[in-house]
């Protein structure tokens, strides 16, 4: 456990040190966020706030993992997360530098994400890091999936989580605050399951998000951008998959899931009936439209995540006897 605490501390300190350096640079380069007209009107005042700030916690996580990782698995988790982060960086670059507000096209982004997800999944499966087993929460059982089913399912989990975290990043401190809790959950899970490498990596993500919140909590001095949200989505999902805990993402990452479902339901309802289910999607904007303050939405969503992760830990306790 001492190594995991050290991982949190290193990542946190790197963020605290680099944040005040990186944020002014982003501001001087005029890497400011453009607020879409379709978004809440009161978010217009955030226009110009530096984005691509995910670089701050990516540095923190990278330094921590490089210093503390003792095998290739921890580095693999870092590399796949950075790969997703690079896709986000390209998207942000197109938005803020080339002034194309929508960034990469949906097809371009999805194709790039799929390539990374497929490569990671195939590597895990062919190298022996994954064998098709999945822990089933609360049932004290392991599901065995054949490769032809395990590989596409794992790719789906990766893509779904990455884009869910991206959708969750819409309020000051929301994505980072929720991911602090989720990554801490997987840190604890990895530790009790005996996976030291994954525990160190998740601890680094926890520390990175904590450090980033110093600058990203309301009122945000910097946004993580797609650079950060895709990195975090990749980190959380890659860690869960390495632990055979795909299904636990549904519990611990329940808020991510609801954010995505709210968008799917909104689009489907409008196309089929011409009516909207929510005042605005993703669902965090719905609560804003209902009159909730931004800080209240973030606080409630983080508290819900804490409760979900505590429930998830009960499931982790139930599968301990299944660990070889």
Nearest to 120 by CA among 266, 239, 277: 239
* The pLDDT value given to residue 36: 53
Tell me the C-alpha distance between 235 and 14, whole Å: 18
What's the whole-model pTM score? 0.94
Query: Encoding tokens for residue 145?
Result: 């999936």
pLDDT tens across 251-303, in order? Answer: 999 999 999 999 999 999 989 898 899 899 899 999 999 999 999 999 999 99
Nearest to 64 by CA among 18, 2, 8: 8
What burial class does residue 206 get, using C-beta atoms within 10 Å of its C-beta: 0-12 exposed, 13-18 middle, 19+ buried? buried
Q: Are 159 and 113 in contact (CB under 8 A)?
A: yes
Query: Encoding tokens for residue 227?
Result: 């650079």
Hey, is 266 helix, strand or coil? helix
* The pLDDT value given to residue 101: 67
Q: Are 199 and 191 in contact (CB under 8 A)?
A: yes
Tell me the C-alpha distance between 23 and 41, whole Å: 25
C-alpha pair distances (Å), 186 with each of 21, 204, 224, 240, 247: 30, 11, 22, 7, 12
Per-residue pLDDT of the chain (324 residues; tens, 9 = 90+): 889 999 999 999 999 999 999 999 998 887 766 655 455 655 556 677 898 999 999 999 999 999 998 889 999 999 999 999 999 999 999 988 777 766 788 899 999 999 999 999 999 988 878 888 999 998 878 888 887 899 999 999 999 999 999 999 989 999 999 999 999 999 999 999 999 999 999 999 999 999 999 999 999 999 999 999 999 999 999 999 999 999 999 999 999 999 999 999 999 998 989 889 989 989 999 999 999 999 999 999 999 999 999 999 999 988 887 775
* The pLDDT value given to residue 2: 87
Residues pairing with 134 in the sheet = 143
Tell me the C-alpha distance between 282 and 152, whole Å: 26
Hey, is 143 helix, strand or coil? strand
DSSP annotation of 259: H
């Amino acid at each position: 456990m001492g190594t995991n605490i050290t991982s949190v501390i290193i990542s946190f300190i790197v963020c605290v040190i680099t944040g005040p350096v990186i944020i002014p640079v982003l501001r001087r380069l005029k890497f400011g966020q453009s607020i879409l007209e379709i978004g809440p009107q009161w978010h217009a005042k955030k226009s110009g706030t530096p984005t691509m700030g995910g670089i701050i916690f990516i540095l923190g996580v990278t330094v921590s993992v490089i210093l503390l990782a003792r095998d290739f698995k921890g580095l693999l988790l870092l590399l796949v997360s950075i790969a997703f982060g690079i896709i986000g960086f390209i998207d942000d670059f197109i938005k803020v530098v080339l002034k194309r507000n929508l960034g990469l096209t949906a097809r371009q982004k999805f194709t790039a994400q799929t390539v990374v997800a497929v490569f990671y999944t195939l590597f895990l499966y062919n190298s022996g890091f994954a064998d098709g087993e999945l822990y089933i929460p609360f049932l004290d059982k392991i599901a065995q999936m054949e490769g032809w089913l395990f590989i596409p399912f794992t790719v789906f989990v990766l893509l779904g989580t990455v884009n869910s975290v991206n959708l969750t990043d819409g309020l000051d401190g929301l994505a980072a605050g929720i991911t602090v809790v989720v990554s801490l959950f997987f840190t604890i899970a990895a530790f009790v399951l005996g996976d030291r490498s994954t525990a160190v990596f998740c601890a680094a993500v926890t520390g990175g998000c904590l450090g980033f919140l110093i600058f990203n909590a309301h009122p945000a001095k910097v946004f993580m951008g797609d650079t950060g949200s895709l990195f975090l989505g990749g980190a959380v999902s890659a860690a869960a998959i390495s632990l055979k805990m795909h299904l636990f993402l549904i519990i611990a990452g329940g808020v991510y899931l609801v954010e995505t479902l709210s968008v799917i339901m909104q689009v489907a309802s409008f196309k089929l009936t011409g009516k909207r289910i929510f005042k605005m999607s993703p669902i965090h904007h719905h609560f804003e439209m209902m009159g909730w303050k931004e800080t209240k939405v973030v606080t409630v969503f983080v508290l819900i995540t804490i409760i979900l992760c505590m429930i998830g830990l009960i499931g982790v306790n139930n599968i301990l006897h299944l660990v070889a």
